[in-house]
Amino acid sequence: MPAKPVIFTLDDDPEVLQAIQRDLRREFGRDYRIMRADTGAEALDALNQMKVRNDEVALFLVDQRMPEMSGVEFLGKAREHFPNAKRALLTAYADTSAAIQAINEISLDYYLMKPWDPPEENLFPVIHDLVDQWQYSYRPAFEGLRVIGHQWSPDAHRIKDFLARNRVPYRWMDLEADKNAGNLLKSLGDAATLPVVILIDGTALMNPSNVQIAEKVGLKTQAAQPFYDLAIVGGGPAGLAAAVYGASEGLHTLLIEREAPGGQAGTSSRIENYLGFPSGLSGGDLARRAVAQATRFGVEILTPAEVTTVRIDGQYRILVLSDGSEISCHALMIATGVSYRRIDVLGCDALTGVGVYYGAAMTEAPSMQGQDVFIVGAGNSAGQAAMYFARYAKTVYMVVRGDSLGKSMSQYLVDQIAATSNIKVLLCTEVMAVHGTEHLEAVTLIDNKTHETQKYPSAGLFVFIGALPHTDWLEGVVERDEHGFILTGNDLVRDGKPPMGWKLERMPFLLEASVPGIFVAGDVRHRSVKRVASAVGEGSIAVQFIHQYLGEL
């Protein structure tokens, strides 16, 4: 339930203050919180705290004659915090000229004469009228987290991306563009370190880590049990599918995800080739549905939590997480997917996160309004990103190394791009350098046939090239190919012989790695098809082999 708006009263005379509070509570207490203070300084302090908590003030009712700060002075200062609140003065007959002057000075809405008895005649009608006017123009405050920072801060980008991918509602308050952001920051005092995350209860976190945020917004980062039948590393489509099938078939299942459930698919603006969704669905929506389904079947999901090592101890596969905790399981599923290769050009490292981004970085799209944006890559993911950014950017340039888009991109996307007037495809082109001091300002491109170069002003470069598997942590544990993708099933059998160290009579199952009981699904698997449906299919099928493996123990 959102907190009730506030009627705030201020008077240095304790008896008057008590009387006005009593009368206001009786008439307005059902719909408003009645708050009071007896000095201007105390009242301003309370307003600071209310601002941070995202409270709303409907009306100030303030005594004019107070020793340290007059009512008019106070209302002038209060207006900075709550400009839309109605302002009324409580005056003695002698103060009416100050009140009349205040109508112009601080846009005073009304002045009331003391005493106000009977309140039914002299107080309530006026207050009703004022709060009704306020209600008419009142838009309830955003109920969620607020993030204050600078647009070009890599930490602000990290936090926004983390919240968006975990579907935590937040409001971004850019210090350069939003004057409320500056006021709110002032309310937090001098010690504020940017970016600041303000929780719903008003607690401010200074440049928090993703794990700190996760703990405050109800995400789970530590396992409830020391042992599970099935532990899954990676919460993309493959991991989520394995989790749904595993748990629905009675396995005590844990899923560990280091960023946000959904994986690469979760960053897709529109997946149009997934069975059963004829008009497509966003990756975020797919992830939300899959997480709800897995949770319904009792899957425990840890996020953000990263697995850094795995140890084999007899029947047990023991996972070590980056916080040092250990979890053991009988069957382990690796579904850690791939991530984009970095581009190695002049200036890129320094500008990563401040104009140069890997993947869709959809949270940055609104800040690209009216700017020129560059997308590097020619796969479906680059195509989707171009379509998405075209809604915001002035022009989207697609930087494509090859001589055609059609070689690597689905035809439906090639057609959509051709029909979008503000997307320009630059074939046979590569990025040569990126420029900028505090953030990306320009991009130099080179034609790889003529070697001509051209520098373009730009605020955003989004890179979608090649894929690298996340398997460094498995070195020496399971067999991988020369690119790091994990070998499974028949790919491990050479000259009819099982992989080295394999002690079972049978050969590895279809999706089983070179260690019995470790299964692999999705993009991270050697020669897998890099598609959502294939990852989901593999994750589901693997559970059948996991049952067979568990039956052998």
Ligand X SMILES: Cc1cc2nc3c(=O)[nH]c(=O)nc-3n(C[C@H](O)[C@H](O)[C@H](O)COP(=O)(O)OP(=O)(O)OC[C@H]3O[C@@H](n4cnc5c(N)ncnc54)[C@H](O)[C@@H]3O)c2cc1C
The contact set with ligand X (CB under 6 A) reads 233-239, 256-259, 263-265, 267-268, 271-273, 306-307, 335-338, 359-360, 380-381, 384, 470, 473, 522-524, 530-533, 535
**Could you tell me if 320 and 310 are in contact, meaning their C-beta atoms sit under 8 angstroms apart?**
yes
Q: Shortest Cβ distance from residue 479 to ligand X (Å)? A: 18
| Pick from 514, 395, 410: nearest CA to 459 | 395
Tell me whether residue 5 or residue 236 sits nearer to ligand X (CB atom).
Answer: 236
Q: Shortest Cβ distance from residue 204 to ligand X (Å)? A: 28
Q: Shortest Cβ distance from residue 309 to ligand X (Å)? A: 10
Q: Shortest Cβ distance from residue 374 to ligand X (Å)? A: 16
H helical segments located in 106-203: 119-122, 124-137, 154-165, 179-187
Cβ neighbours for 209, distance < 8 A, ≥ 6 positions apart: none
Q: Shortest Cβ distance from residue 223 to ligand X (Å)? A: 13
Separation CA 2–CA 259 (nearest Å): 30
Tell me whether residue 98 or residue 405 sits nearer to ligand X (CB atom).
Answer: 405
Q: Shortest Cβ distance from residue 264 to ligand X (Å)? A: 4
Q: By three-state DSSP, how is residue 186 classified?
A: helix
Tell me whether residue 184 or residue 474 sits nearer to ligand X (CB atom).
Answer: 474
Tell me whether residue 47 or residue 247 sits nearer to ligand X (CB atom).
Answer: 247
CB crowding 167-195: b at 16 or more within 10 Å, else e: ebebbbbbbeeeeebeebbebbeeebeeb
Cβ neighbours for 409, distance < 8 A, ≥ 6 positions apart: 378, 379, 380, 382, 383
Tell me whether residue 72 or residue 409 sits nearer to ligand X (CB atom).
Answer: 409
Tell me whether residue 283 or residue 436 sits nearer to ligand X (CB atom).
Answer: 283
Q: By three-state DSSP, how is residue 320 classified?
A: strand
Tell me whether residue 36 or residue 317 sits nearer to ligand X (CB atom).
Answer: 317
Q: Shortest Cβ distance from residue 324 to ligand X (Å)? A: 14
Tell me the two tokens of residue 474: 């498995």
CB crowding 77-110: b at 16 or more within 10 Å, else e: ebeebbeebbbbbbbeeebeebbeebeeebebbb
Tell me whether residue 39 or residue 309 sits nearer to ligand X (CB atom).
Answer: 309
Query: Strands 33-37, 145-149: parallel, antiparallel or unpaired by DSSP?
Result: unpaired
Q: Shortest Cβ distance from residue 43 to ligand X (Å)? A: 49
Q: How many CA atoms lie within 13 A of 503 on its CB side?
A: 4
Question: Which amino acid is it at 270?
Answer: R
Separation CA 501–CA 484 (nearest Å): 20
Tell me whether residue 336 or residue 429 sits nearer to ligand X (CB atom).
Answer: 336
Q: Shortest Cβ distance from residue 84 to ligand X (Å)? A: 41
Tell me whether residue 21 or residue 269 sits nearer to ligand X (CB atom).
Answer: 269
DSSP codes of every residue in 30-54: TTSEEEEESSHHHHHHHHHHHHHTT
CA dihedral 510, 514, 516, 522 (to 10 degrees): -50
Q: Shortest Cβ distance from residue 344 to ligand X (Å)? A: 20
| Pick from 513, 470, 466: nearest CA to 492 | 513
